[in-house]
Structure 1
Amino acid sequence: MATMNDLQGKVAVVTGGAGGIGRAMGRRFGQEGMKVVLADVLAEPLDEATRALADDGIEALGVVADVTDYSSVESLAKEVLDRFGAVHVVCNNAGTGAVSEGYMWEHDLADWRWGIDVNVLGVIHGIKAFVPILLEQGEGHVVNTCSGNGGFAPIARGAMGGAATAVYPMTKAAVLCLTESLYTHLEMTGTRVRAHVLFPGGFLNTGIWESWRHRPTQYAATQERHTPDTTLEKVVDRFESAGVHIEFTPLETVADQVIDGIRADNFWMMGPPAPSDQVVSKKAASILARGEPDYLVDVLGKSAENTSESEGGKRR
């Protein structure tokens, strides 16, 4: 057990820290008396987020870092050590959302590269740069942000109707596998450094719905787009038109999950049991029965099998 009951004076690093879950985690760490390092590729929002923490009396450092570039993550780790001399919690949280359209064989290859480089290689880079530091210290926690969309099972139909992107769930499934492997590798060394996977749960009011607004030039689309870019407003409108009321999970609740998970040394950082948990049971049953993947759902929570005929995808 590597439980940190007293976080006072410890150092936390959060990638994707300029907004959303990352910013909420940074604030929550600061409220525990931790020194907080927010890292993000977006300089202006990062500066604003860091200043907001400082205004609340939290010792905070903002570092512009690109998780797709290992040298940038190495530089982040060096800057953290130069400033604070240690690091105790590393949250590999930076992520990019769904920007693809159409069926997966129609996805732009640039979409695949962007998603993989941020959501998968970004976590790998964080592990490679920071875990040796934690091992040398003899304690620490690595928290990798996952999603039920991929971590449990891919959503079959998207928020705007039609096929959901395959890029995002594929990368989040990889994050879960990476974290399970990290847990095992750390256990084999006998270290007190621990690995955790964070499932935020529910719907989150974050910028990941509109990742296209900050698409880097090196991942510029190579195909002409045929449908409008997704916005959170459009997603909410679709739900309301379907008679479904959206309840957003407070980002503070997600940040509390992380604090509680560290203290309890829980590998699975998740909220209380929810209807979405049934996907896990149905998936396990499908595997054991060697059956069809009847656990797949659309973003409205309906069975993809039940909606296939009405939406022009009748199974033959």
Structure 2
Amino acid sequence: MATMSTQAVATDLRGKTAVVTGGAGGIGQALGRRFGRAGMNVVLADVLAEPLKEATRTLADEGIEVAGVVTDVTDYASVEALANAALDRFGAVHVVCNNAGTGAVSEGYMWEHDLADWRWGIDVNVLGVIHGIKAFVPILLGQGEGHVVNTCSGNGGFAPIARGAMGGPATAVYPMTKAAVLCLTESLYTHLQMTGTRVRAHVLFPGGFLNTGIWESWRHRPDRYAAAQQRRAPETTLAAVVARFEAAGARVEFSPLDTIADQVMDGLAADSFWMMGPPTPADQVVAGKAASILARGAPDYLVDVLGQDAESTSDEGGTR
């Protein structure tokens, strides 16, 4: 019977290979750049062919050894092909970042969410991570070393946001999927330890307000996930979200994506399960949730991002 492993994990990643899904922009591209600057080979994967081509070219122009592979994480055969392409190009894979994700596209209360919104969110944010684990972990186990980094969010990983940036109830789809990502990663961590392997699991919590395409995921919504319901309000844009915050007197400062990439590199070096930045006020949500559970109390830790009373108003609105 396998026992819990206490073996040290190698942290010298120079010359090794990282695979990053959702790599055409945002956190994914920042991770690819950071890995490349550390001397790693990089495989960027994304469902968007042209942005992926541009991201790959950008990293190559910086002298990074990089390949781009068009990948649909909702399709296991596509993720399996990504793994094979990485092995064919570089011979091994050492770091796998299951980072691809879609944001909130639903509106109104959760019982009003279009079923296609649920399916799209679950297929990308949850099944996409499962596909990454299924395709890559056996490779890492065969090598006897490696890391799996799954991108989570405080919105769901800590607790779901109650009221969103546009003033109405925040979507339930996105935080539900991110709660699942945390649970998946916790389970993966335990399962790996039980085998005695040096392969490790990590969960990434990118802190702060991010200037990434996830706010406008609807622009690239596949036809097979087309909503049956007609929207009551226009699709959310990042500009509209920023304007809403500023109108409420809140100053929006975007977290540097390079800082998040550094956070991952530091976490790999330290073999940290929790890849998180320094403590922030958001940590109070975790403490409040734990206190509520222990006291068998109401979930009064739920966050209203605009500082309004989430229980006293019931206006409907767009998405987070």
Gaps of 5+ in 1: none
1:282 corresponds to: 288
2:96 corresponds to: 90
Q: From 202, 207, 230, give the equivalent of 2:208.
A: 202
Deviation at 1:309, TM superposition (A): 2.0
CA distance in 2, matches of 1:270, 1:297: 19
Query: Counterparts in 2 of 1:15-94, with a 5 A limit?
Result: 15-94=21-100
C-alpha offsets along residues 286-311 of structure 1, whole Å, 9 cap, x if unaligned? 000000000001122x3x6x342255
Please state whether the residue corresponding to 2:282 is helix, strand or coil.
helix
**2:272 aligned partner, one-letter code:** N
Q: From 133, 148, 158, give the equivalent of 2:154.
A: 148
Q: From 216, 227, 230, give the equivalent of 1:221.
A: 227
Deviation at 1:2, TM superposition (A): 4.8
Mapped contact 1:179–1:197 kept (Cα < 8 A)? yes
Mapped contact 2:24–2:45 kept (Cα < 8 A)? yes
**2:137 aligned partner, one-letter code:** V
2:187 corresponds to: 181
Mapped contact 1:2–1:194 kept (Cα < 8 A)? no
Identity %: 80
C-alpha offsets along residues 169-222 of structure 1, whole Å, 9 cap, x if unaligned? 000000000000000000000000000000001110000000000001110111
**2:163 aligned partner, one-letter code:** R
TM-score, reference length from structure 1: 0.96
**1:53 aligned partner, one-letter code:** L
Mapped contact 2:169–2:315 kept (Cα < 8 A)? no
1:138 corresponds to: 144
Deviation at 1:36, TM superposition (A): 0.2
Please give the root-mean-square deviation of Cα atoms over the aligned residues, in Å: 1.1
Q: From 5, 26, 37, give the equivalent of 2:11.
A: 5
CA distance in 1, matches of 2:8, 2:33: 23
Mapped contact 1:7–1:32 kept (Cα < 8 A)? yes
**1:309 aligned partner, one-letter code:** S
Deviation at 1:5, TM superposition (A): 2.9
2:312 corresponds to: 309
Please state whether the residue corresponding to 1:275 is helix, strand or coil.
coil
Mapped contact 1:2–1:193 kept (Cα < 8 A)? no
Deviation at 1:4, TM superposition (A): 3.5
1:168 corresponds to: 174
Mapped contact 2:44–2:69 kept (Cα < 8 A)? yes
Mapped contact 1:50–1:60 kept (Cα < 8 A)? yes
Greater RCO, CA 8 A, separation 6+: 2
Query: Counterparts in 2 of 1:102-117, with a 5 A limit?
Result: 102-117=108-123
TM-score, reference length from structure 2: 0.95
CA distance in 1, matches of 2:8, 2:240: 44
What is the count of residue pairs matched by the alignment? 310
Mapped contact 1:153–1:296 kept (Cα < 8 A)? yes
Deviation at 1:312, TM superposition (A): 6.2
1:157 corresponds to: 163
1:254 corresponds to: 260
1:122 corresponds to: 128
Please state whether the residue corresponding to 1:125 is helix, strand or coil.
helix
